[in-house]
Amino acid sequence: MFLNPRLKSHDLLFYDALEKRSELTKQENRRHAATLKGFEGECLYDEIFNDVGHGDVLVYRDLYIKIGESVTQYDALVIDDEGIAVNEIKNYTGDYKVEGGDWYRAGRRISEDPVAQLNRAVGKLIGLRNAANSSFRVSGKLIFPSDDFYLHTDDNSLWSKIVVRSDLRRYFRQFRGGKIGNKSQFIVRLLSEHIAENPYFKSDVDETRLRKGVYCEQCSSYNLLKTRFHFTCTECQSKMTNETLLLRALSDYKYLFYGKPMTRVSFMNFIGHSLTFKVVYRILLKHCYVDRKGKKTTYTFKYRNFEEAISKAELYFKYKDHLKG
Ligand SMILES: [Zn+2]
């Protein structure tokens, strides 16, 4: 049973927004591609686990756990009365070689050390368990969900830490018949008391490089024609409500200027004044927390991102979008 949804990481949301509003540098392009690939690997893991079934275990996905002063990220934690299995998901593709503990791709040493990462992640949870005077088991596996991943190694002990695509279903099936009882509940409670926000994400974009305005949900074009309640894209003819486009802009703003206060003026600049103060104000009041302390009134987007905003049931679109294609 999945306990929480799989969400795009802050980094991925940042690069998605940045890509829509500026020309990415080579390095940004690489990072965007890498974060997207990682997310796709996690989704593939979820899909296969869904297919095999996870009714006999509890699964936390993409969690930050604060233990002592440090925060560790977990791709997946599989819990039953036996304990926790840490699954570190690596969406590697191509030929890899491990020699003397070092990892190489196409003959070149890579910057990551997956085994060390896994050991650290497992070690943190062992610390948490010991501090709670409990006795459940903590184990870990590196999961390689791509069927285009090949590993060569002379270190046979490595295979016990690894699950490749061809073994993934079998690995998931091992969790069948697991018991979810008091111990599992205890573990979930213990973890939930230590869940933290991603403390590492920061964004500081040079505002001048950003394209101001609102853009088409379907084809990302900025060439939109304004009518009273809608914008129509002149490239693909999609018709979108003011609200949809402003929610997208609010979501972009959140990740491009993460943690920085947003004022009505700064948001109006961000959207290139494509709507009137009055219309924007109404949307800000509806979808943001308002902080009237101090000289300036600031607004904080209520939702994690655009996708969450439009999926909220209470959201009522009077004038619907018509996306083409
Ligand atoms: Zn369009």
User: Which CATH number fits the domain that encloses residue 168?
Assistant: 3.40.1350
How sure is the predictor about 204, in pLDDT bands with cuts at 50, 70 and 90? confident
The answer to whether residues 24 and 166 belong to one domain is yes
Cα(248) to ligand 1 centroid in Å equals 14
Q: Which residues of 6-40 are buried (b: 16+ CB within 10 A; e: fewer)?
A: ebbbbbbbbbbbbebbbeeeeeeeebbeebbebbe
Cα(251) to ligand 1 centroid in Å equals 19
Cα(234) to ligand 1 centroid in Å equals 7
How large a percentage of the chain has pLDDT more than 70? 97
The answer to whether residues 177 and 245 belong to one domain is no
Cα(317) to ligand 1 centroid in Å equals 20
Q: DSSP for 271-322?
A: TTT-S-HHHHHHHHHHHEEEE--SSS-EEEESSSSHHHHHH-TT---SS--B
Cα(51) to ligand 1 centroid in Å equals 35
Cα(137) to ligand 1 centroid in Å equals 52
The answer to whether residues 180 and 32 belong to one domain is yes
How many domains are contained in the chain? 2
pLDDT digit string (tens) for 52-100?
999 999 999 999 999 988 999 999 999 999 999 999 999 999 999 999 8
Q: Which of 164, 196, 228 is the last residue of a domain?
A: 196
The residues that bridge with 153 in the sheet, in sequence order, are: 98
Cα–Cα distance for residue pair 206/23, rounded to 1 Å: 12
Percent composition of the chain: helix, strand, coil (DSSP 3-state, to 5): 40, 25, 35
As given in the structure block, the two tokens for residue 56 are 């006999």
Cα(244) to ligand 1 centroid in Å equals 13
Cα(214) to ligand 1 centroid in Å equals 11
> Is 317 within a domain?
no
> Is 5 within a domain?
no
Cα(223) to ligand 1 centroid in Å equals 8
As given in the structure block, the two tokens for residue 82 are 């036996």
Cα–Cα distance for residue pair 16/256, rounded to 1 Å: 10
The answer to whether residues 244 and 112 belong to one domain is no
Cα(218) to ligand 1 centroid in Å equals 5
How sure is the predictor about 317, in pLDDT bands with cuts at 50, 70 and 90? low
Tell me which of 10-19, 137-146, 164-173, 197-206 is least confident: 197-206
Cα(233) to ligand 1 centroid in Å equals 5
How sure is the predictor about 149, in pLDDT bands with cuts at 50, 70 and 90? very high
> Is 318 within a domain?
no
Cα(241) to ligand 1 centroid in Å equals 13
Query: Three-state SS for 217?
Result: coil
Cα–Cα distance for residue pair 188/3, rounded to 1 Å: 10
pLDDT digit string (tens) for 213-246?
999 999 999 999 998 889 999 999 999 999 999 9
Cα(246) to ligand 1 centroid in Å equals 16
Cα–Cα distance for residue pair 15/256, rounded to 1 Å: 9
Whole domain around residue 142: which residue ranges?
A: 10-196
The answer to whether residues 47 and 184 belong to one domain is yes
Note the pLDDT of residue 320.
Answer: 67
Note the pLDDT of residue 177.
Answer: 92
> Is 1 within a domain?
no
Query: Three-state SS for 13?
Result: helix
Query: Three-state SS for 167?
Result: helix
Mean pLDDT for the stretch of residues 283-308: 92
The answer to whether residues 66 and 85 belong to one domain is yes
> Is 322 within a domain?
no
Cα(224) to ligand 1 centroid in Å equals 8
The answer to whether residues 132 and 274 belong to one domain is no
Mean pLDDT score of the chain = 94
Mean pLDDT for the stretch of residues 154-163: 93
> Is 263 within a domain?
yes
Q: Which of 196, 218, 249 is the last residue of a domain?
A: 196
Cα–Cα distance for residue pair 278/264, rounded to 1 Å: 11
How sure is the predictor about 184, in pLDDT bands with cuts at 50, 70 and 90? very high
Distant-in-sequence, close-in-space partners of 116: CB < 8 Å, separation ≥ 6: none
> Is 202 within a domain?
no
As given in the structure block, the two tokens for residue 310 are 């439009």
Cα(315) to ligand 1 centroid in Å equals 23
Note the pLDDT of residue 228.
Answer: 84
Cα(247) to ligand 1 centroid in Å equals 17
Cα(313) to ligand 1 centroid in Å equals 26
Query: Three-state SS for 194?
Result: coil
Distant-in-sequence, close-in-space partners of 156: CB < 8 Å, separation ≥ 6: none
CATH code, domain with 232: 1.10.10
Cα(242) to ligand 1 centroid in Å equals 14
The answer to whether residues 304 and 159 belong to one domain is no
Q: Which of 172, 196, 220 is the last residue of a domain?
A: 196
Cα–Cα distance for residue pair 49/42, rounded to 1 Å: 11
Q: Is the pLDDT of residue 310 over 60?
A: yes
Cα(300) to ligand 1 centroid in Å equals 28
The answer to whether residues 88 and 222 belong to one domain is no
Cα(322) to ligand 1 centroid in Å equals 11
Cα(20) to ligand 1 centroid in Å equals 13
Note the pLDDT of residue 213.
Answer: 97
Cα(136) to ligand 1 centroid in Å equals 53
Mean pLDDT for the stretch of residues 260-286: 95
The answer to whether residues 149 and 70 belong to one domain is yes
Please state, in angstroms and as integers, the Cα–Cα distance from residue 72 to each residue in 40, 62, 163, 226, following that order: 21, 10, 22, 46
Tell me which of 16-30, 192-206, 248-262 is least confident: 192-206
